[in-house]
Amino acid sequence: MSNKENNRDNTQYLTIKEEKAIARENKKIMTQFEREKNRKNVDESEYTTQMRNPSNVIEFDNLHTYFYTDVGVNKAVNGVSFVVPEGKIVGIVGESGCGKSVTSLSAMQLVQGPVGQIVDGSIRYTTSEGKCYDIAKMPRDEMRRIRGKEISMIFQEPMTSLNPVFKIGEQLDEALEIYNENLSASEIKARSIEMLELVGIADPENIYSNYPHELSGGMRQRVMIAMALICEPRLIIADEPTTALDVTIQAQILDLLLEVKDSIKGSIMLITHDLGVIANMADYVVVMYAGKIVEAGEINDIFKNPKHPYTVGLMRSLPSLSNIENQEKLFSIPGQVPNAVNLPDYCYFCNRCDYSFDACYESYPEDILFEDGHRAACFLYADRFKDLDLNRPQLPKNIASSSDDQFARKIPQGRVDFESINNPKEKL
Amino acid sequence: MNNQLYKNEKHNLSAEKNTKKIEQGRLAKKEREAVNSSESDNFKALSPTRMVAKRFFRSSLSVVGLTMVIFVFVFSFLGPTLVKGIWDYGETEVFHIPRESQLLSTASFEGADGRTYEYYDKSTSTITVKSPPSAEHPLGTDTNGFDILIRLMYGGRISLMISFLTVFLQLIIGIFLGGLAGYYGGWVDQVIMRIVDIFASLPGLPILLVLSAVIASIESIPAEHRIYYLMGFLTLISWTGIARLVRGQILSLREQEFMLAAETTGIKSSRKILKHLIPNTIPQLIVSATLSLGGVILYESTLSYFGIGVPFPRAAWGSMIAMADPSKGQEILANYPNMWLPAGILIVITVLGFNFVGDGLRDAFDPRQKR
Amino acid sequence: MKKENSNENFVEVRHLKKYFPAGLKGTTRQYVKAVDDVSFSIKKGTTMGLVGESGCGKTTVGRTMLRLYPITAGEVFFDGVKINDLSRRDLRKMRPRMQMIFQDPYSSLSPRMPVGEIIGEAVREHNIVPKEDLDNYVSDIMNACGLPYRYSRRYPHEFSGGQRQRICIARAVALKPDFIICDEPVSALDVSIQAQIINLLQNLQEEFGYTYLFISHDLSVVEYISDTIGVMYLGSMVEYGDKKSIFKHPMHPYTQALLSAVPIPDPDHKMNRVILEGDIPSPINPPSGCKFRTRCEYASDICSKIKPEFNNYLDGHEHEVACHLYPQDHQEQRVIS
């Protein structure tokens, strides 16, 4: 390879000067934010606010969460606004690095400081006592009253989310004890066992005194759910709760989540990259791309009538939705997600988009509202370009209509009737 | 191979009739693509070396450590040259600096009357060694009339050289045997690791003392070469740490998928060890080697203190401290701190410096430490 | 190296077994029966999908076939050559023809080797192209896999997951293989990248006629890419056959449950899930008879006593199933209540 010296690219690295400038800037900003967060005795009025709509559990309003990294400012969440209505499941979909997890961590104030900071925007949340707080401005000490009790989280990895040296029961009891100091030890234990029963663990008394390593992955995720529910939170954030599990176990856990949501009358923010899971669980869907929401709306709007080219591309690239019968090539979105450190000032998706035109390279598109709160950030639907003869993405017929054979895949259960299959009239 | 393969993948979904507007849009897109031809190109990363350097320099302790190490290096390697160039003397140059020494001696005797009498005798004598610090000899001279500062420099030089050589030898033996044990496993591993266990259970210092006595008694070995034999023994009892480290690393690396991938490509075992395994153990080796540099310097100083290390008249920090040996009288220990204190301070600085640097490197190489 | 099996099957696996030692219980040595009597064959230029949940042994099948793990029992034929008998040297010579793409694009690339070297290393070692052509060859391969050649001096950590998987594919393709085992090549990737990689694999197959063994837990991907499919449960194959037949008429209760558990990305689709109770039993002490009986709602007495044999029930389709729900050869036609 030595004879191709000219092919060598050294442009990919920062110069020392650039690096120093970034480090200086980061330090300045980070110390400022940390000082703000560590203040003691903050007056409550500073972070009390009013919900826009009292029927929402949580409202994200223009949230910006940045990471001040060594190579520059990573705008992980860059102006995200959506709400979680009471008793509903809101699904957040997007590829890795699109900021869906950071959004949820921001709601818990769990963003790793001092590098990660909520820079702008607000997260309004009403506690069970009826007070409305802005989580983005809440001091660290106050936040402890909300975490776990009001908002709880289910993580992706059931293997690493439980402490291996404590028994399951001890970990459950601890979560309960913190917020209910007046309960006796036996009451706490009874409640823990009751929770284990609720999440469908067959032998709760026994599991109570087991260690995490003695349980299978599915069982551990059940314990994680029990732990998240034990204080009866109003909002459960489930961050990829089934990604690490097998499909048959995933089906169990998803059913369980739906059940427990009703039994504690909570809302769920379900973060996943699996559109199949979203379609089965969510009432509303938020599609994120590179730190921004590209499309949001009710489940049927998103799946039946997606507007943004990214959403359409995502749907079309699913093998299960493609026309397998005709052995057509799978649709794929070319290129890669832009790096969150160096985002352009125009649409982030345009260089992967088959429908982009001039305007896409000039500014970032504003949200276009369709009927019933369905919105997409794309110039293709802007009023001022309405008259242009542009291609607008459409789902192919076979995907859009669910009466298609693909979806009606009837799975026989138990014995298969050979007569009908071996009938030569019906070709496979 | 056909370069078109990849292009096929991009489906041309757009309908044929495009307005002029779109045509322009596409053109603009192409131009932009030409400028930043790939998404990962329009942002700059830190090179891996710089990433390590950045994490290293973030800790002030490692910066202090590095400063100490650099100071010792400059002092021991540039210092002698400088002194030689300017004043033209070396470590064994004897200076006779006469100075008046006021001696006050007391004696007592029992008089005829049964009472004890004391008398004082005040005399002046001229001595030419052990001169106090002066402008020409900032740390004075020692019992032999050697300049202490220059001897500190030469002592540092030999200490550093010995420790680097010893650690280098350790690395060679350790990587070779550890690599074999880790890669082949089975009985090879068993045999090598038992050898390691045996060497690791030997008490180092007593054996070195005995061995050096043996070497000293063999007349065919010139005194100057004694230290090299000792270095060899030092290596023999201290390579086990490196071997264990390399074996452990390789055992865990061997389970990684890239080793399976190397196996499926059918490349030779030697290449797998040399190109795939060893390079991945290098960060840990650097850390371990840096930490053991300090250890070897301590060993060498100890040996020199006992007079079995670097032979007289060569300078060594250990033997310079040994001059204050209280068993030979309290005089130097009490009255001439300029003769032994600087050597002690230098040993501390060097060992501490290497340890700080080693710890800093360990944190810098640790990928888990993202901050 | 004489040819021993029929020419029709390019790759053939017969009664493959792989046991891993798992400590002692009392005085008897225990084994994890990771792969327990698996047989299948793949025709040249086709793709076989191997599906199953984690721990069912599908990855072990792939690795044992390439003798990355020693074979406990059974035979593996590749292009008429019996892989079991090859000496280390012959095996090493065979290696380039059988390649593997791994699941984790992060750990399957040596972190301290530039990309060009990763791809070109074994090409040079096996003298696949003349030395002076190596650079051009690597450049061609990288282009074919969608990687610009100017990246050849970069290190793996500078790439995203999708690009890393392209590097892995390039490494495999560079050796001009005939058979590639894809061990969950897309499960670590995002949806849009997943489609890129699947398309790349398919385009390469069309161009060079590769034979694939595609191992995955994602049924929709397997359904899309495969010609034939094998379903594994706890080290054994429970159903094997033509893709369309399996997806239209899954016969084994496990296959049915597996298919019904896949969430369909359509809100109108009401899931008619067969929820399997419990977890996969330990592969150290698998249940007697049919291994699935502990979780099967149709299990009866016979399931615990006799291991079901593979049988073909569908006329004109290559589709075999091992289940007592269907009449077995060695006994009278059983009435199932």
C98 touches chain B (CB under 8 A): yes
pLDDT-based confidence at C214, cuts 50/70/90? very high
The confidence score (pLDDT) of residue A414 equals: 67
CA distance A298 to A282: 9
Task: Single out the residue of B192, B181, B190 nearest to residue B251, CA to CA.
Answer: B181
Residues B260 and B329 in one domain: yes
- Asked if residue B188 is part of any domain, the answer here is yes
The confidence score (pLDDT) of residue B87 equals: 76
Residues B34 and B145 in one domain: no
Residues B159 and B16 in one domain: no
Instruction: Give the residue-averaged pLDDT of C199-219.
Output: 90
Average predicted confidence (pLDDT) for chain C: 84
CA distance A237 to A104: 7
- Asked if residue B201 is part of any domain, the answer here is yes
- Asked if residue B116 is part of any domain, the answer here is no
The confidence score (pLDDT) of residue B280 equals: 85
Q: Is A52 exposed, middle or buried (0-12, 13-18, 19+ CB in 10 A)?
A: exposed
Q: Which is more confident, B195 or C154?
A: B195
pLDDT-based confidence at B194, cuts 50/70/90? very high
- Return the structure tokens found at A387: 């008259």
Residues B272 and B148 in one domain: yes
- Asked if residue B321 is part of any domain, the answer here is yes
B22 touches chain A (CB under 8 A): yes
Instruction: Give the residue-averaged pLDDT of C7-21.
Output: 86
In chain B, the number of structural domains is 2
A164 touches chain C (CB under 8 A): no
Kindly tell me if the per-residue pLDDT of B30 is higher than 60: no
Yes or no, beta carbons of B46 and A329 under 8 Å apart: no
Kindly tell me if the per-residue pLDDT of B342 is higher than 70: yes
What would you report as the CA-atom Rg of chain C, rounded to the nearest whole angstrom? Answer: 21
When CB atoms are compared, the residue of B10, B13, B21 closest to A388 is B21
Q: Which is more confident, C218 or B26?
A: C218
Write the pLDDT tens digit of every residue in C290-314.
Answer: 888 888 888 888 888 888 888 877 7
The confidence score (pLDDT) of residue A91 equals: 93
Q: Rounded to 5 degrees, what are φ and ψ at C19? A: -110, 135
- Asked if residue B22 is part of any domain, the answer here is yes
Kindly tell me if the per-residue pLDDT of C327 is higher than 80: no
- Asked if residue B199 is part of any domain, the answer here is yes
- Asked if residue B354 is part of any domain, the answer here is yes
Residue of chain A with shortest Cα separation from B50: A16
Chain B neighbours, 3+ Cβ pairs < 8 A = A, C
Residues B71 and B189 in one domain: yes
Write the pLDDT tens digit of every residue in A199-246.
Answer: 878 788 888 888 888 887 788 888 888 888 888 888 999 988 888 778
Compute the nearest-CA separation of B24 from chain A (Å). Answer: 7
- Asked if residue B295 is part of any domain, the answer here is yes
- Return the structure tokens found at A51: 């919900």
Instruction: Give the residue-averaged pLDDT of B28-35.
Output: 43
Instruction: Give the residue-averaged pLDDT of B310-323.
Output: 81
Kindly tell me if the per-residue pLDDT of C337 is higher than 50: no
The confidence score (pLDDT) of residue A423 equals: 53
Give the domain extent around B15: 2-44
Compute the nearest-CA separation of C226 from chain A (Å). Answer: 10
pLDDT-based confidence at C213, cuts 50/70/90? very high
Residues B351 and B219 in one domain: yes
Residue of chain C with shortest Cα separation from A321: C265
State the DSSP string of B31-62: HHHHHT-SGGGSS-B--HHHHHHHHHHHSHHH
- Return the structure tokens found at A395: 């789902």
Yes or no, beta carbons of A317 and C191 under 8 Å apart: yes
> Looking at beta carbons, which residues of chain B come within 8 Å of C108?
256-258, 260-261
Residues B40 and B177 in one domain: no
Kindly tell me if the per-residue pLDDT of B14 is higher than 60: no
Residues B192 and B303 in one domain: yes
The confidence score (pLDDT) of residue A328 equals: 66
The confidence score (pLDDT) of residue B195 equals: 92
When CB atoms are compared, the residue of C94, C107, C200 closest to B9 is C200
ipTM above 0.95, yes or no: no
Segments in chain A below pLDDT 50: 1-10, 401-408, 424-428
Residues B7 and B84 in one domain: no
The confidence score (pLDDT) of residue B16 equals: 36
C201 touches chain B (CB under 8 A): no
The confidence score (pLDDT) of residue A397 equals: 62
Residue B345, number of CB atoms within 10 A of its CB:
12
Instruction: Give the residue-averaged pLDDT of B296-308.
Output: 83
Kindly tell me if the per-residue pLDDT of C330 is higher than 60: no
Highest mean pLDDT among A153-157, B255-259, C170-174: C170-174
> Looking at beta carbons, which residues of chain A come within 8 Å of C221?
319
Instruction: Give the residue-averaged pLDDT of B78-88.
Output: 80
Residue ranges of the alpha helices (H) in B185-239?
A: 186-200, 204-217, 226-238
Residues B12 and B85 in one domain: no
Domain CATH for B228: 1.10.3720.10
C-alpha dist (Å) from residue A45 to A42, A50, A92, C67: 8, 11, 31, 69
Residues B221 and B162 in one domain: yes
C-alpha dist (Å) from residue B177 to A428, B192, B196, C248: 62, 7, 9, 58
Residues B355 and B281 in one domain: yes
Q: Show the 3-state SS of chain A.
A: CHHHHHHCCCCCECCHHHHHHHHHHHHHHHHHHHHHHHCCCCCHHHCECCCCCCCEEEEEEEEEEEEEECCEEEEEEEEEEEEEECCCEEEEECCCCCCHHHHHHHHCCCCCCCCEEEEEEEEEEECCCCCEEEHHHCCHHHHCCCECCCEEEECCCCCCCCCCCCCHHHHHHHHHHHHCCCCCHHHHHHHHHHHHHHCCCCCHHHHHCCCHHHCCHHHHHHHHHHHHHCCCCCEEEEECCCCCCCHHHHHHHHHHHHHHHHHHCCEEEEEECCHHHHHHHCCEEEEEECCEEEEEEEHHHHHHCCCCHHHHHHHHCCCCCCCCCCCCCCCCCCCCCCCCCCCCCCCCCHHHCCCCCHHHHCCCCCCEECHHHCEECCHHHCHHHCCCCCCCCCCCHHHHCCCCCCCCCCCCCCCCCHHHHHCCCCCC
Compute the nearest-CA separation of A396 from chain C (Å). Answer: 14
CB contact residues (below 8 A), chain B span 27-86, against chain A: 28-29, 32-33, 39-47, 50-51, 54
C124 touches chain A (CB under 8 A): no
Instruction: Give the residue-averaged pLDDT of C127-137.
Output: 88
Write the pLDDT tens digit of every residue in C36-66.
Answer: 889 999 998 899 999 988 878 888 999 999 9
> Looking at beta carbons, which residues of chain C come within 8 Å of B6?
143-146, 200, 203
B122 touches chain A (CB under 8 A): no
The confidence score (pLDDT) of residue A142 equals: 82
Instruction: Give the residue-averaged pLDDT of B137-163.
Output: 82
Kindly tell me if the per-residue pLDDT of B200 is higher than 90: no
Out of A296-300, B47-51, B113-117, least confident range: B47-51
- Count interface pairs A-C at CB distance under 8 A: 194
Yes or no, beta carbons of A332 and C199 under 8 Å apart: yes
Residue A186, number of CB atoms within 10 A of its CB:
8
